[in-house]
Amino acid sequence: MNLRELAAHLGLSQTTVSRALNGYPDVAEATRRQVMDAARQFNYRPNPAARRLATGRAGTVAILFPVERNLLVDPHFFELLAGLADMIARTEMELSLRATPPDQELDNYRRLVNAGRVDGFVLSSPTLQDPRIPELAALGAPFVVHGRTEVALPYAYLDIDNEDAFARATALLLDLGHVDIALLNGDPALGFAVDRERGFRAALAERGLAPFEGRVRNAPMTEETGYRSARALLERPERPTAILASSVLLALGVYRAARDLGLAIGRDVSVIAHDDALPYLKAETFDPPLATTLSPIRHAGYRLGEMLIDRIAGVDPQNLQEILTCDLVFRASVAPLRGEDGPRRGPTSAASRSRTKDDPRSSDRRPAR
């Protein structure tokens, strides 16, 4: 069923039917009702290709992600994608997923815009001076950013308050008596990593403190790097008593390193991580449960879809800037600093989780390796 057939059936011209369907003002209310009813009845859907040809709009939003062969694609990216796809599916738009070699990324944006194949983009994981932002702005293409950068342009973004979240997490640890706190952060080229470090340092500075030597580490956010970093930090006698991690995967590595070294999470070293709520790896099922700064990334994807559609509809980017506050979720991976009498250095049995119940195992401690 196409427009011509629908118009013929109604005894109207295509023009009128088209206008009725698209909400133009200059059409009689009675006519509109007729048209709408018939369209619904025949389950009429405008042909997107024809519409695209006629309007020049693509009816498509895209998200590009750089891939190198066998290279890591951040699982957070996909979780964002799930929310975005969910949102876009509720509209008439399509979501086009495009992989690109990293060195051709800007080119691809340009091409897609110039060819009119895409109406708007979602940018994720912006770097501090992300070249995509001025590029797309210059091209006049609508876009929304997941995160913020230092680019001095009025662009639409959705971000979490990373600085505040990590400042609050740090303050919590300080309140519990911790002083030597480490930060396992992501790639320092990424905006969120900078913000988190800033929050971390700010909270320390507020009490006249600063990070100890070598306590801030940047690396890709995988279990493996979390392990390596934590291991390097914790195996020395003058180890930090608390660790902030930028992702739950990093924290997973921290837990493994602690076990390796016979340290009990919570008792010997407190851990707080940022939690993007990956559905298959939950902080609350860690052992012990992992304290987090929480902000579900899938919801961010959903909201970014809404914002992008607004942006495409012409909403001013200044009015599309949102910062979400993270919840700080306290769990057993965090505990007060143990007193001077406690074994500040001596690693203890890894089987410490039962200590709260019936088996303190204070006699179970062994000397460090």
Query: What is the smallest separation between the CB atom of 122 and DNA, expressed in angstroms?
Result: 25
Query: CA-to-CA distance for 134 and 347, rounded, in angstroms?
Result: 52
Count the site residues for DNA by CB under 7 A. 29
Can you tell me the distance from the alpha carbon of 190 to that of 295, in angstroms, rounded to the nearest whole number? 18
- Retrieve residue 158's tokens: 């959705």
Residues 46-75, interacting with a copy of itself (CB under 8 A): 47-50, 52-53, 58, 65, 67, 70-75
271 binds a copy of itself (CB under 8 A): no
Q: How far is the CB of 31 from a copy of itself (least distance, A)?
A: 26
Helix (H, G, I), strand (E, B) or coil at 86: helix
82 binds a copy of itself (CB under 8 A): yes
Close Cβ partners of 242 (under 8 Å, ≥ 6 residues apart)? 173, 176, 178, 180, 181, 182, 269, 270, 271, 272, 334, 337
- Give the burial string for 292-311 (b: 16+ CB within 10 Å, else e): bbbbbbbbbbbbbbbbbbbb
Find the binder of a copy of itself among 121, 166, 192, 227 (CB under 8 A): 227
In the chain, % helix, strand, coil (3-state, to 5) comes to 45, 15, 40
Number of H helices, E strands in the chain: 12, 12
Pattern of binders to DNA over 23-42, x per CB under 7 A?
--xxxxxxx-----------
Q: Is 16 in the site for DNA (CB under 7 A)?
A: yes
Q: Which does 97 bind (CB under 5 to 8 A by kind): DNA, a copy of itself, none?
A: a copy of itself
Q: Residues 173-202: x/- map of binding to DNA (CB under 7 A)?
A: ------------------------------
* Binding site partner of 224, from DNA, a copy of itself, none, Cβ cut-off 5-8 A by kind: a copy of itself
Residue 94 found at the interface with DNA (CB under 7 A): no
If contact means CB under 5 to 8 A according to the sort of partner, which of DNA, a copy of itself, none does residue 164 touch? Answer: none
Instruction: By CB under 8 A, name the one of 8, 323, 351, 368 that touches a copy of itself.
Output: 351
Q: Which two tokens stand for residue 58?
A: 């693509």
Residue keyed to tokens 């902080």 = 283
Residue with tokens 């006519």: 31
Q: Is 28 in the site for a copy of itself (CB under 8 A)?
A: no
Dist CA 215 CA 203 (whole Å): 15
Residue 328 sits at the vertex; the CA angle it makes with 324 and 334, to the nearest 5 degrees, is 155
Q: Which is nearer to DNA, 13 or 325 (CB)?
A: 13
Task: Count CB atoms within 10 A of the CB of residue 15.
Answer: 12
Q: How far is CA 216 from the centre of its chain?
A: 21
The nearest distance, CB 40 to a copy of itself, in angstroms, is 15
103 part of the interface to a copy of itself, by CB under 8 A: no
- Piece of the chain touching a copy of itself by CB under 8 A; list 26-34, 85-93, 143-151, 326-334: 85-93
144 neighbors 123 (Cβ within 8 angstroms): yes
State the residues that interact with a copy of itself by CB under 8 A: 45, 47-50, 52-53, 58, 65, 67, 70-75, 78, 81-82, 85-86, 88-89, 94-100, 111, 115-117, 221-224, 227, 249, 252, 256, 259-260, 262, 278-282, 285, 287, 298, 349-351, 353-354, 369
State the residues that interact with DNA by CB under 7 A: 2-4, 11-16, 18-19, 21-22, 25-31, 44-47, 50-51, 53-55
